[in-house]
Amino acid sequence: MSVGVEQTEVPARPLTLLSEEEQMFQAAVRRFAREQIAPHSRSMDEAGVFRSDLLRQFFDLGLMAVEIPESYGGQGGTFFQSVLAVEEIAAVDPAAAVIVDVQNTLVINAVMRWATQDQKRRYLPRLASGTVGAYALSEAGSGSDAFALQTRAVRDGSGWLLSGRKLWITNAAEAGLFLLFANADPAAGYKGITCFVIERDSPGFRVGKKEDKLGIRASSTCELILDDCPVAAENLLGEAGQGYKVAIETLNEGRIGIGAQMIGLAKGALEHALAYARQRKQFGKAIAEFQGVQFDLADMAVEIEAARLLVYNAARLRQAALPFIAEAAMAKYFASQIAETVASKAVEIFGGVGFTKDYPVEKLYRDAKIGRIYEGTSNMQRHLIARHLLRNPA
């Protein structure tokens, strides 16, 4: 992943917040990420394609089914373990991390909560064993205004016909299963939005253009095109008109996953900066000996630790079934800011070579930008936090 600089590992702290089982899980994912993903990170970024053999390893290790019960072929783990996995993978490749994140915190999370028992029997074993999932909400005219959907669902006998176009759908190139949101009753506004489970090979459905992105390039982002795509009634996730609840509740939790991705990215940038600062010499000594560089490294470490505590707190609250929506927004908002700041400082510590593709911090800097945009922009997070404060002044 780097040229001439061996990455210095910074412990994921504070370990006192992790149980022994969580520490062992974290260490295993970290080892896998550094040994198996890191060597391919640059080439995958340049090609804009995630390696199929690595994706297979994700499934084999259970990283794509952390919370799925063992009875359905999953790991029977916890939401917090999903967060730990995303953080550790993001430290070497944020693009790889978002593949795991979307699968666990959005797709599987929604199926676990809203699917019928029959749907769980149909879909969870597949999601655990080799089927990638995608979460198809966004459209050209519905980004931050997530419920201004134009994709339509029309009754067709006992089933539905879907028509429209989705944009910026993560995992779309690899996905075999899509949770897709369409409006079944436009007159009802957002209360007409409904969630459907769509198979990749469904007639009238196809994956379109793949976006050529600034960062997280190995993670596919594509458009979806529906032209009178038939969907059976039993492929409704939840009830007709409940799609907005499915989306809101799932995205609230997904933001914690993005927060984890961002703190992992920042940790990776700090590790590279530390290693380079110890190696790089100017004026007869390592630049790590200069106070200016030391202060930058100290600021980076403090910011990462603060962001990690926010993310871990939100994850713990969610896992304990306690209110967490504002905390999730805070975690996502702050962690995405910190990721961009820390990655930028890392580039500066590397100096001129940090601006080249020969060293990994350039990629991390590009990858960081999306954190302030997807799964709710920074302004949307601030709006949500302020609304919570005004409703709950205490």
Best CA proximity match to 266, nearest among 91, 35, 124, 22: 91
Q: Which of 67, 174, 223, 375 is catalytic?
A: 375
Neighbour-count burial of 114, counting CB atoms closer than 10 A to its CB (0-12 exposed, 13-18 middle, 19+ buried) = buried
| Rounded Cα distance, 180 and 166, in Å | 9
Residue 2 makes CB contacts below 8 A (sequence gap 6+) with 272, 359, 360
Best CA proximity match to 153, nearest among 164, 145, 142, 143: 164
| Rounded Cα distance, 288 and 276, in Å | 8
Q: Which residues of 164-186 are buried (b: 16+ CB within 10 A; e: fewer)?
A: bebbbbbbbbbbebbbbbbbbee
Give the position of tokens 């980076």.
300
Instruction: Judge whether 199 counts as a catalytic residue.
Output: no
The amino acid at residue 1 is: M
Active-site residues, by number, are 375
